[in-house]
A and B are shown apart, each in its own frame.
Chain A
């Protein structure tokens, strides 16, 4: 008996609650058609730009659209509609219109699909004013953030790690106790700990939890923070959580570290005095496109060993 993924319930619940909600897809799921009708499960050609533009137009008339774009990297084909239309129409009309569009896309890791299919885009998308960028770190968080996204009046991109939907998804470390709706811009404490703080987002939340389990055996008790949304970014909430543990912080991200969510967070933590600059570390993905061969992709992404060694290095300072 397999447990149904929590996000399935989130989507079905929203479709049941909102008769004016539609789903845009290039593949129609037979069970959803049976439940909600082919008219609401709109099958479109593989034309992401127009698909997203149509979602904007439908949403402007007050009908919510969930766009399943398959791979988050395909969103780049629709970037004009996302950046120039979906997120700006409310502002340009001075609030006369809202655009309740939710876009779901898979990011990277574990599928070996290569550079054009795998991309952790949360840092890039977090630069778009007003766009909510949700990056669930667990199956329950995926459901919780989807529930909030599907009642939100403005565009939301939900970036989901393929790991959250792999066959063994139920074996992932699961910090959240329920699949209740999770608010945007509020980071969660995935694990308590008094000696240091590990901050993860998306894929790296599980990495941090595994690293924390290893560090426990050293007598280092790490709390793990799940950012949950790259935008809004819960700077003050993370700062408050960091202050409850010993003054060492490791920010862990699969996206490159350059101009990133973690660099913004790190700056804030230092400016507010929550961490001394020399006790702050970033463990991040390499600025390299995703290769296909497993040992190559593994070499580019942070794993728990990277986090554990960073923690040990920091503890020795």
Chain B
């Protein structure tokens, strides 16, 4: 169910409340392609057995992360979940540190303790990602309360999937956000599935209906249209910063399905027709069409638009091929670092590590 037109009208009615963020479509496209190529590299590494743990690829949803985060102020915190690579890259996390983290190599942005699902990067205001559905929502609300209490005028942006709306934490968080007037933007990436289950089978209300039922402002947008996502996010953030929490539902789809664990390719159990319908609406192709199209604003780019698209992909491929080759050549973290950053409390000798426990070198 796509309601971008109606929602878009509602969004523009709310715009003009001080938002000055603009998004350069070429920049957005470059970032979306980087995420796409990065994730393809990660999937190739996973297929080669080089990724410890699981991978939840972001391919197909790039317009959401890029469109939303182009509307944030650079010091507004972002809270993510296990499908976090796209959010991390769009937030400005260095591809090298992210790749090394996912591959379990030295120099990873979280020292090898986060892996694929729990990326945090303080320098980029990425507060972190939680791998348990909906647990990131109250945490984001708490961060928003911190900003409100500090009087900073900054919003907090949280991402979730549509499955998060099955969890009690979502209802509790939205209730509290409304009661306290928190500067919270919750972006729901509605891709129709929660793990192996189509969302429509296990709910009687969509996330948008739920949010509105709880008294929150909620816009719904075509999540594969980066311009529409950006416009909606910018309008929503303006309201958030003024203390009105917002929900943005971005309707989108995954190219590579839910999760990959180990070198086996991920299963695909979504209906072929549904898949084909969505893959035809790929967010990258749509920007390419715009960049190459006859729109007045970009007419001067029209002649070279297609070539530009190819160049952007080549550049991203070259950059990220080097990043991943470099990461794969890097050492594994020092096993002694496995026991650091647990707590500042002084765990007395003898209570810390029983003698029977030894830290072993991981298998190569």
Residue in B closest to A153 when the chains form the complex, CB atoms:
B344
Whether A84 is near chain B, meaning CB under 8 Å from some CB there, is yes
Collect the chain A residues with CB atoms within 8 Å of residue B346's CB: 183-185, 232
Closest A residue by C-beta to B139: A57
Cβ distance B73 to chain A, nearest Cβ, rounded Å: 15
A91 touches B342 (CB 8 A): yes
Whether a CB of chain A sits under 8 angstroms from the CB of B127 is: yes
Give CA–CA (A168, B122) in the complex, Å: 49
CB–CB A57/B142 < 8 A:
yes
Cβ contacts under 8 Å, A255 to chain B = none
Q: In the complex, A39 Cα to B145 Cα: how many Å?
A: 10
Q: Are A58 and B351 in contact (CB under 8 A)?
A: no
Instruction: Kindly state whether residue B18 has any CB partner on chain A within 8 Å.
Output: no
- The answer on a CB contact under 8 Å between A54 and B347 is no
Known A49-B172, A80-B135, A92-B118: A60·B342 in contact at CB below 8 Å: no
Among B77, B140, B175, B344, residue most surrounded by chain A Cβ atoms (within 10 Å): B344
Which of A53, A90, A154, A184 interacts with B142 by CB under 8 Å?
A: A53
Contacts A50-B176, A236-B348 given; indicate if A94 touches B114 (C-beta within 8 A).
yes
CB proximity to A under 8 Å, residues B130-145: 130, 132, 135, 137-145
Interface: A281 (CB within 8 A): no
B147 interfacial contact with A, CB 8 Å: yes
Chain B minimum-CB-distance residue to A78: B138
Kindly state whether residue B341 has any CB partner on chain A within 8 Å.
yes
Instruction: State A42–B141 Cα separation when bound (angstroms).
Output: 13
Enumerate chain B residues within 8 angstroms of A52, measured Cβ to Cβ.
Answer: 138
Given A96-B120, A185-B351, A232-B351, does the pair A61, B146 have CB atoms closer than 8 Å? Answer: yes
Residues in A with CB closer than 8 Å to B172 are 45, 47, 49-50
In the complex, per-residue mask of B99-123: 1 if CB is within 8 Å of any chain A CB, else 0: 0000000000011111000101110
State how many residues of chain B have any CB contact under 8 Å with chain A: 49
Q: Say yes or no for A117: interface residue by CB 8 A criterion.
A: no
B139 cross-chain contacts in A, Cβ below 8 A = 53-54, 56-57, 60, 81, 85
Contact A154 B345 (CB under 8 A): yes
Question: Nearest Cβ distance between residue B76 and chain A, in whole angstroms?
Answer: 12
Pick from A51, A95, A132: contact of B345, CB below 8 A.
Answer: A132
Mark A53-78 against chain B: 1 for CB-CB distance below 8 A, else 0.
11111111111010000000000000
Of B113, B149, B176, B347, the residue contacting A185 (CB under 8 A) is B347
Q: Determine the chain A residues whose CB is within 8 A of the CB of B135 once the complex forms.
A: 53, 80-81, 84-85
Q: In the complex, what distance in Å separates the CA atom of A22 from the CA atom of B169?
A: 21
Q: What residue of chain B has the Cβ atom nearest to residue A93's Cβ? A: B120
Q: A129-B342, A154-B344, A232-B347 are in contact. Are A54 and B110 (CB under 8 A)?
A: no
Distance from B77 Cβ to chain A, minimum over Cβ atoms (Å): 7
CB of B128 within 8 A of CB of A49, answer no
Please name 24 pairs of A and B residues whose Cβ atoms are closer than 8 Å in the assembled complex, sorted by A.
Answer: A22-B149, A44-B176, A45-B172, A50-B137, A51-B138, A53-B139, A53-B173, A54-B173, A57-B141, A57-B146, A59-B142, A80-B135, A81-B139, A85-B139, A93-B122, A94-B111, A94-B341, A95-B111, A95-B341, A130-B345, A132-B345, A233-B348, A233-B351, A237-B348
Besides the known contacts A50-B138, A94-B110, 15 further A-B residue pairs in the complex with CB atoms under 8 A apart = A45-B179, A49-B169, A49-B172, A57-B139, A57-B140, A60-B127, A60-B143, A63-B149, A90-B343, A92-B110, A92-B113, A93-B113, A96-B110, A130-B343, A185-B345
Chain A interface residues toward B at CB < 8 A: 20, 22, 39-40, 42, 44-45, 47, 49-63, 65, 80-81, 84-85, 89-98, 129-132, 152-154, 183-186, 232-237, 268
Binding site for A on B (CB under 8 A): 77, 79, 110-114, 118, 120-122, 127-128, 130, 132, 135, 137-147, 149-150, 168-169, 172-173, 175-176, 179-180, 340-351
